[in-house]
Amino acid sequence: MDSSIAAILTLDGLTNGIVYGLIAIALVLVFTVTRILFIPQGEFVAYGALTLAMLQQGQRPGPLWLLLVLAVCAAGMQAAQLLRAGQAALLPRTLLGTLGVPIAIAALVWWAAPQQFALPVQVLLTLLLITAIGPLMYQVVYESMADASVLQLLIVSVGIHLAMTGLGLVFFGAEGFRTPAFWDERWNLASLTLSAQTVVVVAAAAALLVALWLFSGRTLYGKALRATAVNRLGARLMGISTTLAGKLSFAVAAFIGALSGVLIGPMSTIFYDSGFLIGLKGFVAATIGALASFPAAAGGALLVGLLESFSSFWASDFKEVIVFLALLPILLWRSLVTPAHDEDEE
Amino acid sequence: MKTKLAIKAGVLAAMLACAGMAHAELTIGVVMSLTGPGSGLGIPAKNGFALWPETIGGEKVKMIILDDATDPTQASKNARRLVAEDKVDLLIGSAAVPPTLAVADVALESQTVQLAISPIETAEGKDAWTFRLPQSTAVMAGGVVEQMKKMGVKTIGFLGYSDSYGENWLKEVQRLATAAGMKMGTVERFSRADTSVTAQALRVVSSNPDAVLVVASGSGAAMPHKALIERGYKGKIFQTHSAASRDLIRLGGKDVEGAYVISGPAVVPEALPDGNPSKPLATDFVTRYEKQFGAGTRNLFAAHTYDAQLVLQKVVPMALKKAKPGTPAFRAALKEALESAGPIQISQGTLNYSPKDHFGLGDDARIMLTIQNGNWKAVNP
């Protein structure tokens, strides 16, 4: 192994690591705000990449129907709640509020899909569609059990993951897709080939991080999210709606997932079930950050990417084994340095 | 008028009576990978059933299709259910190697004939009730090595799945290449869900072999191919028959131009010479399949289930002479008929099962293709 090979491997590892890092950040965000270990995060990645592929072909993407069904379910649940509380007068306004935006987005995608717009427009449509699914999913699935234990929430997450994988097969078919690169260019720097897509990944990740930083530091909603992450009960006492925080965190997670999918799509063939493994690696990275620290999770993701890249060079048979085995020393170290405390904080 | 009506009624009654007599239907249990990692193979295989006739040998065909999720345990459970509860006369499936092996165990145990859609290798005698429709890996690897030899290849690199499909290919190519005086070089593996094979491709390319064999299936075969090209590999790249679908060209684009792909003849009837006995059947399969599922959808797995029906049309009448469907005697007669039927012409070549050989397909069942201008072209027709 010479320095040029090491450089190529490092670059490849870092590119993948950045995508894992985005996923890890979404996982940490969702976990700190809602205590949900969001296993289906990877599915949003696959949905993002494949929705873009569908739009490329001028077909109407399947997640459109998922969005509509979730919106109808959410509206139905709200209606039932209002009727039970005897507040039928509020019904029209609530239903309009819940159904309006999803139906508008679905209609927009329905109309735009066969028009075959330019790639940037299709990327925006993809991000819009997948992001809209996030908060509705929280509302339909998790809202009523927001105070359940971490284990119960995890079990539900596994169920959602299985359902989303199955739906992915129905929506996109069994064959994989590769979306066109945003910027199809390759530069040769000595022995290293730098593809423009790598630059796009780095730029998009950086832009996202800055946006998240501004959002959490400068906006009221961002501060509410942070407050909920620090202490749910305290935040509620201060008048912050934990439901709103949950929906918001899911919207951000779905957006990050769809963005990761759009970024990774041109670099690799994505199948309907590819999301799980990508999500798991993001999860390893999030664990390095103890599901609490964003910088540690991001650093962990780069580590996972590098580990993966180098281990597939040296021992391709054992690549997955090495990556997931890396969890053990990390967990051991975590359990040694973290003082034991009661899990149920409230 | 009245007499005419009476005659008509009489004929109708007679026909109904005949139909009633032939009521014992042929029950076929299908275990197929419709979800999970093998679904890219299982779904087209299931689509192939759409080309089946309604009756075979005068018996109505009743088909029960179960999904095994590409999971051997589920496949085994499904096969057991089909055999025990539905009392099927015959099992078909599955599309991926591990579940097919699981079905083979049940076939042996329950003494039910299995028509396998994937080329499974079993221990001696374990396949007594299993008959494969695809070409064995040895036949296909033989075609690859033959072509490599013709082109003067000395060293071979390997970039393949880290599962039983990859292992079977590695074993066969290693054996045949060593016998032909070639050297097996770098062997690298990856899994279907990998998002990058850069590192493995780098290792293969840096050892600079004359040819590289990529062992992957369906649309998954494009990524390793592209990775090799991106890393500056200039030699010949070979692909296996699992990659012989339009998806390779769709996803690979200009990077797969000039690739060599071994395939069964069923997907390229246009490239077959006129005298080839498979040509009319392959043409029939391709035209009917694409009429129903769209242009360019032809694939080897749908051809296998199309072929299953051709095999049954030959052997079911033979078995019916000995026993009625739904009985153990019929199942035994079916096995005997398969082993003694002699050559059966299918869209992939000529099947020749014998009590010793349950693979049946020989060297005429393969064709080497290359990709030129985004289309298939036969290398030596």
pLDDT in tens, B142-176: 999 999 999 999 999 999 998 888 998 999 999 99
Contact flag B202-A278 (C-beta cutoff 8 Å): no
Name B371's bridge partners.
B376
DSSP for A243-296? HHHHHHHHHHHHHHHHHHHHHHTTTS-B-TTTHHHHHHHHHHHHHHTTTT-HHH
Entry pTM: 0.84
User: What pLDDT score was predicted for residue B36?
Assistant: 83
How far from A336 is each of A322, A339, A340, B63, B280, CA to CA, in Å? 22, 7, 9, 59, 71
How far from A57 is each of A152, A260, B246, CA to CA, in Å? 40, 20, 16
- A49 vs A43: CA distance, rounded Å: 10
- pLDDT > 70: percent of chain B: 93
Indicate the pLDDT class of residue B8, thresholds 50, 70 and 90: low
Indicate the pLDDT class of residue B184, thresholds 50, 70 and 90: very high
**Rounded (to 5) percent helix, strand, coil in chain B:** 50, 20, 35
- B48 vs B42: CA distance, rounded Å: 10
Handedness of CA B142, B147, B150, B151 (dihedral sign): negative
Contact flag A178-B198 (C-beta cutoff 8 Å): no
Would you call B188 an interface residue with chain A, using a CB distance cutoff of 8 Å?
Answer: yes
H/E stretch holding A341 reads none
User: What pLDDT score was predicted for residue A161?
Assistant: 95
User: What pLDDT score was predicted for residue B19?
Assistant: 46
Using 70 as the pLDDT threshold, list the residues of chain A that sit under it.
1, 340-346
- B305 vs B63: CA distance, rounded Å: 13
Q: Which residue of B has its CA nearest to A280?
A: B193
Residue B191, sorted as left (phi over 0), alpha (psi -120 to 50) or beta, turns out to be beta
Name A177's bridge partners.
A270
Q: Which amino acid is at A7?
A: A
Q: Do residues B46 and B305 make contact, with C-beta atoms less than 8 angstroms apart?
A: yes
Would you call B199 an interface residue with chain A, using a CB distance cutoff of 8 Å?
Answer: yes
H/E stretch holding B55 reads strand B55-56
Name every chain B residue with its beta carbon within 8 A of the beta carbon of A197. Answer: none
Model confidence over B242-253: pLDDT tens digits? 888 888 898 888
Indicate the pLDDT class of residue B20, thresholds 50, 70 and 90: very low
B204 Cβ neighbours under 8 A, 6+ residues apart = B157, B158, B159, B185, B186, B188, B212, B228, B233
Model confidence over A107-163: pLDDT tens digits? 999 999 998 899 999 999 999 999 999 999 999 999 999 889 999 999 999 999 999
Contact flag A316-B203 (C-beta cutoff 8 Å): yes
User: What pLDDT score was predicted for residue B48?
Assistant: 94
Question: Which one of A11, A175, A273, A322 makes the best mutation probe of the B interface by having the most chain B beta carbons within 10 Å?
Answer: A175
| Average pLDDT of every residue of chain B | 89
Would you call B36 an interface residue with chain A, using a CB distance cutoff of 8 Å?
Answer: yes
Where b means 16+ CB within 10 Å and e means fewer, B315-337 reads bbebbbeebebeeeebbbbbbbb
H/E stretch holding B210 reads none
**Would you tell me the crossing angle of helices B164-179 and B137-150 to the nearest 10 degrees?**
50
Name B115's bridge partners.
B92, B131
User: What pLDDT score was predicted for residue B21?
Assistant: 46
**Rounded (to 5) percent helix, strand, coil in chain A:** 75, 5, 20
Contact flag A312-B200 (C-beta cutoff 8 Å): yes
Name every chain B residue with its beta carbon within 8 A of the beta carbon of A161. Answer: none
Residues from A in contact with B at Cβ < 8 Å? 5, 8-9, 12, 15-16, 19, 166, 169, 173-178, 186, 193, 195, 264, 267-271, 273-274, 276-278, 308-310, 312-313, 316-317, 319-320
